[in-house]
Amino acid sequence: MRPPASLLAAFAFACACLAAAPGQALAGGQPELRHTATITNWGAEIRREQRTYSPCVGAERLAGIGAAVLDSADTTMPPSSFPLGDAHHVAIFTADQVPSQAGPDSTWQIADNRFPSSTDLAAYETTVCASNLKTSYPRSRTGTPPHRRTVTSARCRGRRHVLAGGALLTGPERSQRLVASFPFDSSDRGGRPDDGWRVVVDNMDSRRRAVTVVAICAPVRGLAYVGRRYRAPKRARRHRTVPCPAGKSIVGGGVRHAIRYGRAALVASAYPAPQRTSWVTEIDNLSPRAAQARSFAICHG
In tens, the pLDDT along 214-230 reads: 999 999 988 999 999 99
Q: Which residues pair with 284 in a beta bridge?
A: 237, 265
Task: Tell me the pLDDT band of 9, cut-offs 50, 70 and 90.
Answer: very low
The residue with greater pLDDT, 107 or 76, is: 107
∠ CA 148-153-158, nearest 5°, is 170
Task: State the burial class of residue 115 (Cβ atoms within 10 Å of its Cβ: 0-12, 13-18, 19+).
Answer: middle
Between CA 274 and CA 11 the distance in angstroms is 24
Q: Identify which of 168, 106, 96, 163 has the alpha carbon closest to the alpha carbon of residue 136.
A: 163
Query: Residues 127, 62: contact at Cβ < 8 Å?
Result: yes
For 88, phi and psi rounded to 5 degrees? Answer: -150, 160
Region of residue 46 (left: phi > 0; alpha: psi -120 to 50; beta: else): alpha
The pLDDT of residue 5 is above 60: no
pTM above 0.75, yes or no: yes
The residue with greater pLDDT, 198 or 27, is: 198
Q: Identify which of 163, 62, 44, 45 has the alpha carbon closest to the alpha carbon of residue 107.
A: 62
Question: Which residues contact residue 35 at a Cβ distance below 8 angstroms, ignoring those fewer than 6 apart?
Answer: 19, 20, 24, 126, 127, 128, 249, 250, 271, 273, 276
Q: What is the pLDDT of residue 184?
A: 97
Q: Identify which of 201, 178, 204 has the alpha carbon closest to the alpha carbon of residue 266.
A: 178
The pLDDT of residue 279 is above 60: yes
- The Cβ of residue 201 has, within 10 Å, a number of other Cβ atoms equal to 24
Q: What is the pLDDT of residue 20?
A: 38
Task: Tell me the pLDDT band of 78, cut-offs 50, 70 and 90.
Answer: confident
The pLDDT of residue 24 is above 50: no
Task: Tell me the pLDDT band of 100, cut-offs 50, 70 and 90.
Answer: confident
Task: Tell me the pLDDT band of 79, cut-offs 50, 70 and 90.
Answer: confident
- Domain residue spans in the chain? 5-300
The pLDDT of residue 297 is above 80: yes
Q: What is the pLDDT of residue 38?
A: 94
Q: Identify which of 23, 55, 63, 60 has the alpha carbon closest to the alpha carbon of residue 36.
A: 55
Q: Which of 14-23, 28-37, 51-60, 122-131 has the lowest mean pLDDT?
A: 14-23
The pLDDT of residue 74 is above 90: no
The pLDDT of residue 11 is above 70: no
Average model confidence (pLDDT) for the chain? 89
Q: What mean pLDDT comes out for the span 34-63?
A: 94
Beta strands in the chain (DSSP E): 16-19, 32-41, 47-51, 61-71, 87-95, 106-113, 121-131, 139-144, 148-155, 161-169, 176-184, 196-203, 209-218, 223-232, 236-243, 249-257, 264-270, 278-285, 291-300
Q: What is the pLDDT of residue 30?
A: 67
Task: Tell me the pLDDT band of 237, cut-offs 50, 70 and 90.
Answer: very high
Between CA 196 and CA 211 the distance in angstroms is 16
Task: For the chain, give the percent of residues with pLDDT over 70.
Answer: 89
**Terminal CA-CA length for the chain:** 35
Q: What mean pLDDT comes out for the span 175-203?
A: 92
Q: What mean pLDDT comes out for the span 172-199?
A: 92
